[in-house]
Amino acid sequence: MNHHTTDAHTLAAAYALGALDDDERKDFDAHLQTCEACRQEAAEFQATTARLAAAVAQPPPPGAKAQVMAAVDGVRQLPPRVPAAGAAPVLGGILRRRAVSLALAATVAAVALGGVAVWQTQNEQELEQQARQAQQQLDAVSAVLAAPDAQTVHGKAANGALTTVVSSEQRNQAVFTAANLPAPGAGKTYQLWLDHDGTMLPAGLIDHDGTVILAGNPADAGAVGLTLEPDGGSPQPTTDPLLLMALPA
C-alpha cells in the first residue's frame, strides 16, 4: 500500500530482537494483526530469541519468590483478550453477580486490606459497597505496579519480614508488600507510616502477609516505617520502628 506498509514486512527480525523503538513496535504489532506471513515469521523468530534468553538463564535471587508470591495476592488478573463486545468493565461484572460473588470479592478485599473482617454484615447493599471498594483497592494496587514510572525498594524488617514498596510518582501512590510477617500478637497490629521530614504520619495497618496501598501522600515522604501498635493503630508511633525504608527520591 504506502511506503510504511511495504517496509513493515521486513521488520519481524528486529521486532523479535526487541530492536524496534516504541512507535515502530506499536506499528508492527498492528501490522501483525493483518499479515499472516509476518505473524508466522515473528513467532518463529521469537521462539529463536527465547533460546538466546534461555542460554543466559541465572538462578533468581533467594527471597525473590516469597516477595512475588506475596505481591500477587493483591494483583488482579487481566481477563482474556476478547473482542470489543466482551470488554465490559470488571466492576460492572462483579456488581451483576449475586451476593455469593460479592462475599467472595469482599473476602479477597479482606486479604488485600490486611485482614479487616469486612464480611460480617449480611446487608447486600453494604456488600456491594464493600465489593466495589475491594475492586477499587485491587485496581489501585495493579495500577501502581503497572505504572510506567513505578519504582521498587526492598527491605527487611527487624522481625524478619521481607518488604517491598512500589511507588509511582505519576500516580502519587505507593503499595507496601510484606512476606514472612510474624503474627502481631493478641490485641496488636502492625502500622505503616510515611516519614515527612521526621514527622511520622499514619499510612495504614497490615496484619499478615499481603499487599496494601499506603494511605497519605508518598510523593512528599522520605521513608516508609513499620511499627507494632495496639489494635486499631495509633496517631503516632508508640514503639521503635521495625523497619524504615527510604523511598526513591
Beta strands 223-230 and 243-246, pairing class: antiparallel
* CA distances, 140 to each of 52, 71, 166, 168, 208 (Å): 36, 13, 12, 11, 20
> Is 232 within 8 Å of 189 (Cβ atoms)?
yes
Q: Give the nearest distance from C-beta 152 to another protein in angstroms.
A: 4
Pick out residues in 128-147 that bind another protein (CB under 8 A): 142, 145-146
Q: Give the nearest distance from C-beta 170 to another protein in angstroms.
A: 13
Pick out residues in 39-78 that bind another protein (CB under 8 A): 40, 43-61, 64-65, 67-69, 71-72, 75-78
**Residue 135 identity:** Q
Interaction pattern, residues 2-31, with Zn ion; x per rule: CB under 5 A:
-------x----------------------
Taking CB under 8 A as the rule, does residue 17 contact another protein? yes
Please say which residue, 35 or 140, places its beta carbon nearer to Zn ion: 35
**Residue 88 identity:** A
> Is 15 within 8 Å of 27 (Cβ atoms)?
no
Written as nine digits, the cell of 108 is: 479477597
Question: Binding partner of residue 43 among another protein, Zn ion, none, CB under 5 to 8 Å per kind?
Answer: another protein
* CA distances, 232 to each of 203, 204, 235 (Å): 12, 10, 10
Interaction pattern, residues 199-228, with another protein; x per rule: CB under 8 A:
------------------------------
Taking CB under 8 A as the rule, does residue 6 contact another protein? no
* CA distances, 27 to each of 33, 43, 47, 219 (Å): 10, 17, 21, 35
Quote the CA–CA distance of 223 and 180 in Å, as a whole number: 21
Question: Binding partner of residue 117 among another protein, Zn ion, none, CB under 5 to 8 Å per kind?
Answer: none
Interaction pattern, residues 75-104, with another protein; x per rule: CB under 8 A:
xxxxxxx-----------------------
Applying CB under 8 A, the residues found at the interface with another protein are: 10-14, 16-21, 40, 43-61, 64-65, 67-69, 71-72, 75-81, 142, 145-146, 148, 150-156, 164, 243-249
